[in-house]
Amino acid sequence: MRRLRPLRRFSTKKKSMQRRMFPRWNKLSLKSAAAAHFLSFSSPRKALTPSRKCSGKRFNVPPSAEFVARVSGIPTMAKLPFRESADGLDAAFVGVPIDTGTSNRPGARFGPRQIRVESALLRSYNSGTRAAPYESLVVADIGDINVNVYDLKDTCRRIREAYRTILSTGCIPLTMGGDHTIAYPILQAVAEKYGPVGLVHVDAHADTSDVVLGEKIGHGTPFRRCVEEGLLNCERVVQIGLRGSGYSADSYEWSRAQGFRVVQVEECWFKSLAPLMSEVRAQMGSGPVYLSFDIDALDPGFAPGTGTPEIAGLTPIQGVEIIRGCRGLNLVGCDLVEVSPPYDTTGLLLRSNRITNCTSAGALECRTGSCFSW
């Protein structure tokens, strides 16, 4: 009978192989790293996230699927590490799971969770833009805002206070919604820090209604509230992709009356949006800018899982052009909103999310010169 190799020789060979496979893992023995991967203990990110130091700064590079299965581990955004606060971060992914402000189909409260699950398909390097944001910026997922699902006004207060804390650290918040109501309290906190900001608003709807069913706060009213409170620099606001029917011309004409640039979807059909975004960059200048991307800006043929779908919308390619067109802007925050997974029965929305959830990822490299988007 053939003799088995001694256990020590086998163990040594195995460790040597592991060192070749995971050369960048630090502060953990190979044994604890393997345990973290295979047993998924309570803090797997410490083991699964390779880190790199540069000028005394540590960057959180997501683990490669060549070594760590995408389906394993805690589903953080893009498989980044989880942090309990924004301290020490250049940017942070934040979930705001509410749909209390919706007027039609609910489900956006499940958006942040599903976006995170789908984001496991994202890789850390883009061959088209040659961007690798996690190699130069410290980014993490800091979880969700603790919302009050029974009280929208209280939820807005909680969001505003949470974003004040995030912004006080110098961190850029990259938000996953949630319905579009969340833009109002977020911009309250943003304007408190930066003053009136420019806005790139990508949406099928203007979201500038005044009162809906007696309420002034909802997903159709955030930008009117923002203007009323002086949160926006109206000469530096552009709305892209507006379309469909309305109850009156008021909300659309109101935007123009404030000085917004309104780009109807008809102006976007059958063409590249790169020239438009060149004009947007000139309009925004060097001042602070917030990017708000409503998933219903995309045609429902590509993204059916949303609360208020409108036909004849933007294509995913045009969505990418908008995001990449933000390169060079002084982005101080962004959101992706109105993702409603229950209405995505075919998985089309999730595939589109590979593009649109990079609204957030795009904000990372816009500040360093090479916009990161798919």
Could you give the percent of the chain with pLDDT greater than 70?
Answer: 77
Tokens linked to 71: 């389906």
CB neighbour burial string for 14-47, b if at least 16 within 10 angstroms, e if fewer: eeeebeeebeebeeeebeebbebbeeeeeebbbb
* Structure token pair of residue 184: 């109002």
pTM for this one?
0.82
Q: Omega before 178 cis (within 30°)? A: yes
At 160 the pLDDT is 99
Q: Could you report the per-residue pLDDT of 189-207, keeping only the tens digit for each?
A: 999 999 999 999 999 999 9
> Looking at residue 357, what is its pLDDT?
46
Give tens-digit pLDDT for 298-312: 999 999 999 999 999
The C-alpha atoms of residue 268 and residue 333 are separated, in whole angstroms, by: 25
pLDDT at 362: 54
pLDDT band with cut points at 50, 70 and 90 for residue 369: very low
pLDDT of 283 higher than 60: yes
210 compared with 346, residue with greater pLDDT:
210
User: What's the mean pLDDT when you consider all of the chain?
Assistant: 83
Distance, CA of 113 to CA of 133 (rounded, Å)? 22
Structure confidence at residue 347 as a pLDDT band (50, 70, 90): confident
Count Cα atoms within 13 angstroms, Cβ side, for 227.
Answer: 21
In sequence order, the 6+-apart residues with CB closer than 8 A to the CB of 269 are: 312
Task: Tell me the residue type at 232.
Answer: L
Domains, the chain, ordered by start: 7-54 (no CATH), 82-366 (3.40.800.10)
Residue 333 has pLDDT above 50, yes or no: yes
Of 167-176, 186-195, 318-327, the least confident: 318-327
In contact, 225 and 184? CB cutoff 8 Å = yes
Q: What is the pLDDT of residue 58?
A: 63
Question: What residues pair up with 197 in beta bridges, in sequence order?
Answer: 232
HEC readout, 216-269: CCCCCCHHHHHHHCCCEEEEEEEEEEECCCCCCCHHHHHHHHHCCEEEEHHHCC
**Confidence label for 40 from pLDDT (cuts 50, 70 and 90):** very low
pLDDT of residue 60: 77
Strands (E), the chain: 51-54, 57-60, 91-96, 139-144, 172-177, 197-202, 232-242, 261-264, 288-294, 330-337
Question: Look-up: residue for tokens 């923002």?
Answer: 226
At 373, is the pLDDT very low, low, confident or very high (cuts 50, 70, 90)?
very low
Q: Which two tokens stand for residue 70?
A: 């995408």
Q: Is the pLDDT assigned to residue 262 strictly greater than 60?
A: yes
